Structure 1
Amino acid sequence: MGPGRRSVTATAPVETMPDSVGPRPPRISLAPRPSLSGEVAAAGVPAGGPGVFYAGIALVAVLYATRELLVPLALAVLLAFVLAPVVRAIRRVGVPRVASEMLGVLLAVAVISGIGALMGRQLAELARDLPFYQATVSQKLTGLMGDQGPLGHASELLRSLGEGLSGKGGTGAPSTAPQAGPPPLPVEVREPAPGLLTVVQRVVGPLLGPVATTGIVIVFVVFLLLYREDLRDRLIKLMGSRDLQRTTAALNEAASRLSRYFLAQTALNAVFGVAISAGLWAIGVPNPLLWGFIAGLMRFVPFIGGFIAAAFPLLLAIAVDPGWTMLIWVIVLFAVAEPVMAQAVEPMVYGHSTGLSPVAVLLATAFWAWLWGPIGLLLATPLTVGLVVLGRHVDRLEFLDVLLGDRAALEPSEAFYQRALAGDGDGLAEQAELQLRTLPLLGYYDEVALPGLSLAQGDATRGALDRTRLDVLRARVDGLLDDLSEHEDAEPPALEADGPVDRDPNEAAGAQEPPPPPPPEWGAPGTVLCVAGRGRLDEQATTMLAQVLNLAGYGATALPAEALRDAAATPAGVRAVVLSALEGGSGAASARYAMRRLRRRFPDALLVAGVWGAERDSPVLAALREENGRGCEARSLRDALACLSAAAAPAEPASPRAMAEG
């Protein structure tokens, strides 16, 4: 985690949706992990103020003013990432480093040159055949605009309505046009034949820019591949070399993931282009290779790339086919190919997303297109992916991951607390529904809800949460718990206790398989009492505990702290009592008195001291441990369930040898 980012201790990590850059690697940071608090610190955001604003404006101005240099450099960096796996593959067969890099560059130049020559030939053929398509287009327009066509009928109807509204009858206004005079004399302007230099300028001039850009890109790629170790060392020095091992590992991880992503994206777009070319060839659309190349290239453009790629063959299908069959087949081809590639093929290759949020993709596309024109439109997604990967590996740039990435901005426990604090009951229910798709109820309470309540408890202890907002929070959490009271897990939760769980009393029982159902006598109502502490949110935590135990087959009942005051109301048949309190909600003295009272009230029952979210050296847990003696302690609901499972398990019969020795 980045500096200033607060973490929440949980028994198991909450699963997140996969993305293109994989799990989060070690970050480049030497700051110690802060303790749990109610604050959500900014994630690596630079210091605010007018200076940051002016620096951003200056950066945009520099990017725009130096686009002639930066566009080839950006293309070279992306091409270097694409060629890096190819160069490594060539080196693995025994080719020296410099030779393998030059061979990789020559291979890329040959492929690009071949594609460029082929596309130029296709464009020349298209320009030659365009006049022949004019007759078909004119025929279709005549059919649409004629008296019998749909547009002709609509035009006649509008004309009739216009005449009726204007009040014009059959007699028109007298003509005021001047009488025709003598016909004008024709004038013909002849230009002199262009010279050789003019012809060369007209032919070569438009090619100078692309050729120069291509040459600059090739030179940049060669030097990036030859000196990538030196560039990496300089980048490490810029980011700080206090922890050289972690910095190097993070940079290598980022470069490797970017290389794999860009190579996979290029390969998939090439496959898509080949598929579109084959489909258009089968349909009969002229120049299918050209349109397939454009379709593959446009897949680098998010959202609108597919529409741009389909527009050209659609227009050509209208111009070529006298009917509408070819147009329909082209629409079907793109309507099938694009979703299959986006929803089926790409997730199998590099995950379900690019790691970018949809809003970030849209804004990045608009920004880079405005800044660098059509080239920026193509580079928008790769450049933004690179920025997000840097943000996930470098603490100082973590704000890029927060702003542009598709990860949740808040941890699940933070989101739980925020929604409850805002009174958003629907948001709480939606989050619970999403988390319960991958977590059992026990895991959701242990990893999301209880840490969220701990955040609220911390704010309440510091005086940052007034009574009104606390009442709103408790009401929303109570509503959520009421909704989850009838929840049934698909599979019973596995037991993996945080610490030693006691059977008789402090013997480890951390089995990872689902707990066996308790004996029937443990399922009677009131067999297990869950008594809340005196904290402001202990009753909500106690309700969660009772729901988990009831779901596991125990007859659990949740009681408020005031239930201990009435000595005459002691129920019968109690086998276990769990004192339930959030860390920070009750003091050590009050917790000790509560445990002492429970021991006097239920001398034969198993007593479990539950302090949710506590560390091993918690003062409250230490006081309860001292008072509870041979009882059991739990720092999570999973621990409490393991304690009861160990106590409810039937005792193993003694072996004959043990009986003889006894």
Structure 2
Amino acid sequence: MKAEPTASGASAAESPDMRAEARADMRLMRSLVIGIFILMTAAALYFARAFFMPVMLAFLLTLTLTPIVRFLRKRGIPEVVSATLLVLLSIFIFAVAGYLLSGPVIDLINNSYSIGQQLTERLAPFRWPLERVTDVAHQLEALTETSQEPGVQRVAVAPSGILSTAASNILEAGTSITIVFVLSLFLLASGTLFYEKIVQSFTSMTQKKRALRIVYDVEREISHYLLTVSVINVSLGTVIGLGLWGLGMPNPLVWGATAALLNFLPYVGALMTILLVTVIALISFDTIAYALLAPAFVVLCDVVEGQFVTPMVVGRRLEINAVAIFIAIAFWSWLWGFVGALMAVPLLVVIKVFCDHFESLSPAGNFLAAQHSMAIEEEPAENNHNQAA
């Protein structure tokens, strides 16, 4: 009769440890499943980029134009009409920009060799520290050539058909652009149908309300960010183009469009624009002092835009951690190339806004958010003051 309580007491004593071990195993299993899911998602995005990339671009374009469609709907214009007009206007702007920029860009590509020679001649007085390194490299190359055995032949891989590769790339790009605009048209013209389908996938009224609130909040924040940043970048490109035109820079339209496009890449885009403008200015003007005016003007415009205009217009609510920005640009550029790098920051903003609406994802949202040193430094000072009181 006394053995039963002892056995039950032993099982009761062991049950908390067993439950803790089971919970630890469940957490480990869940972490493994999440890691495998992330790896499989990255692999799917990489190997199926021909499908996912235009779809992502279409969703981003839809979010950018959604505020305009809703504004026109309040003025009595149906979504189908406003969406069709906006998509046609986007196609027109894209086609005109491509036509105007194609000639100067092709000229720059064709003259890239002469540009490199002119830049080398202009920087000749400043390259003497590198001449020794260049001589060593030439000596190593000559040593490699002379050390070859007599019977060994070099194998050179001839490039595949350039025309066929170019035709394939043009066809792929045309297909992707068509998917982007057609899918954007359908998404914009559908109105609230997409949100109704999301709400209908939940059962309880509480879940429906929460899902609808999250969807509308995410859409409002992202559409505001994308539309505002697009307007800011176009304005920045216009100012830079006009300023470079006033300085006598060749092809100012190209550099204005380049500045507007690359400014979607924070930090990296501005640096690339400054370097490109510096190279062209050095070979275009007679004196180096006057040539440096062009990149100095670009630096001034970037500083004003990055430190004053964008924080004031967009607000600090959607500021992203610089480390997260660089990681996102590196990841998406590896995944989808230059187009992926352009989409890196908007996708990062989408992820941050989505994480802010779920308590379980708040650590990820906190990591993505920009951290202000003033707020961190004031908290310990305030705690010390309270402790002293």
The TM-score normalised by the length of structure 2 is: 0.75
Query: Cα gap change, 1:62/1:317 in structure 2, threshold over 3 Å: closer, same or farther?
Result: same
| Secondary structure class of the residue paired with 2:274 | helix
| Secondary structure class of the residue paired with 2:286 | coil
Query: Cα gap change, 1:372/1:124 in structure 2, threshold over 3 Å: closer, same or farther?
Result: closer
Query: Cα gap change, 1:322/1:239 in structure 2, threshold over 3 Å: closer, same or farther?
Result: farther
**In the TM superposition, what whole-angstrom CA distance separates every residue of 1:183-234 from its partner, at most 9, and x where no partner exists?**
xxxxxxxxxxxxxxx9985874442122111001112111211235232123
1:80 aligns with 2:43: no
Aligned to 1:625: none
**In structure 2, what is the Cα distance between the partners aligned to 1:226 and 1:126?**
40
Query: Cα gap change, 1:326/1:91 in structure 2, threshold over 3 Å: closer, same or farther?
Result: farther
Structure with more relative contact order (C-alpha pairs < 8 Å, separation 6 or more): 2
Aligned to 2:11: none
More helix by share: 2
Aligned to 2:149: none
Aligned to 2:21: none
Query: Cα gap change, 1:286/1:88 in structure 2, threshold over 3 Å: closer, same or farther?
Result: same
1:278-293 maps to which residues of 2 (within 5 A)? Answer: 278-293=242-257
User: What 5-or-longer segments of structure 1 have no aligned partner?
Assistant: 1-44, 163-176, 178-197, 413-426, 437-448, 450-479, 485-539, 545-662
Query: Cα gap change, 1:257/1:139 in structure 2, threshold over 3 Å: closer, same or farther?
Result: closer
Equivalent position to 1:431, from 379, 382, 388: 379
- Quote how far apart the aligned CAs of 1:135 are: 7.5
Does the Cα contact within 8 Å between 2:83 and 2:185 map onto a contact in 1? yes
Equivalent position to 2:215, from 223, 232, 251: 251
**In structure 1, what is the Cα distance between the partners aligned to 2:220 and 2:120?**
55
1:485-564 maps to which residues of 2 (within 5 A)? Answer: 544=389
Q: How many matched pairs?
A: 335
Does the Cα contact within 8 Å between 2:61 and 2:184 map onto a contact in 1? yes
Aligned to 1:273: 237
Does the Cα contact within 8 Å between 1:273 and 1:293 map onto a contact in 2? yes
Query: Cα gap change, 1:125/1:343 in structure 2, threshold over 3 Å: closer, same or farther?
Result: same
- Give the fraction of aligned pairs with identical amino acids, expressed as a percent: 26
- Quote how far apart the aligned CAs of 1:240 are: 6.2
**In the TM superposition, what whole-angstrom CA distance separates every residue of 1:275-325 from its partner, at most 9, and x where no partner exists?**
111111112121111111111111111221111112222111122223213
| Secondary structure class of the residue paired with 2:301 | helix
**In structure 2, what is the Cα distance between the partners aligned to 1:151 and 1:64?**
41
1:115-514 maps to which residues of 2 (within 5 A)? Answer: 115-127=97-109, 136-137=118-119, 139-140=121-122, 144=124, 149=125, 151=127, 204-238=167-201, 241-243=204-206, 244-352=208-316, 354-395=318-359, 397-406=361-370, 430-433=378-381, 480-481=384-385
Does the Cα contact within 8 Å between 1:368 and 1:377 map onto a contact in 2? yes
Aligned to 2:6: none
- Quote how far apart the aligned CAs of 1:397 are: 4.4
Does the Cα contact within 8 Å between 1:360 and 1:404 map onto a contact in 2? yes
- Quote how far apart the aligned CAs of 1:71 are: 0.7
**In structure 2, what is the Cα distance between the partners aligned to 1:73 and 1:136?**
43
1:99 aligns with 2:81: yes
Does the Cα contact within 8 Å between 2:119 and 2:279 map onto a contact in 1? no
- Quote how far apart the aligned CAs of 1:79 are: 0.4
| Secondary structure class of the residue paired with 1:102 | helix
- Quote how far apart the aligned CAs of 1:82 are: 0.9
**In structure 1, what is the Cα distance between the partners aligned to 2:252 and 2:298?**
13
| Secondary structure class of the residue paired with 2:320 | coil
**In structure 2, what is the Cα distance between the partners aligned to 1:258 and 1:60?**
23
| Secondary structure class of the residue paired with 1:313 | helix
- Quote how far apart the aligned CAs of 1:151 are: 4.5
Does the Cα contact within 8 Å between 2:244 and 2:294 map onto a contact in 1? yes
1:621-640 maps to which residues of 2 (within 5 A)? Answer: none
**In structure 2, what is the Cα distance between the partners aligned to 1:269 and 1:363?**
22
Does the Cα contact within 8 Å between 2:79 and 2:190 map onto a contact in 1? no
User: What 5-or-longer segments of structure 2 have no aligned partner?
Assistant: 1-26, 137-145, 147-160
**In structure 2, what is the Cα distance between the partners aligned to 1:260 and 1:151?**
48
Aligned to 1:20: none
Aligned to 1:32: none
1:50 aligns with 2:14: no
**In the TM superposition, what whole-angstrom CA distance separates every residue of 1:483-519 from its partner, at most 9, and x where no partner exists?**
x7xxxxxxxxxxxxxxxxxxxxxxxxxxxxxxxxxxx
Of structures 1 and 2, the larger Rg is shown by 1
Does the Cα contact within 8 Å between 2:80 and 2:190 map onto a contact in 1? no
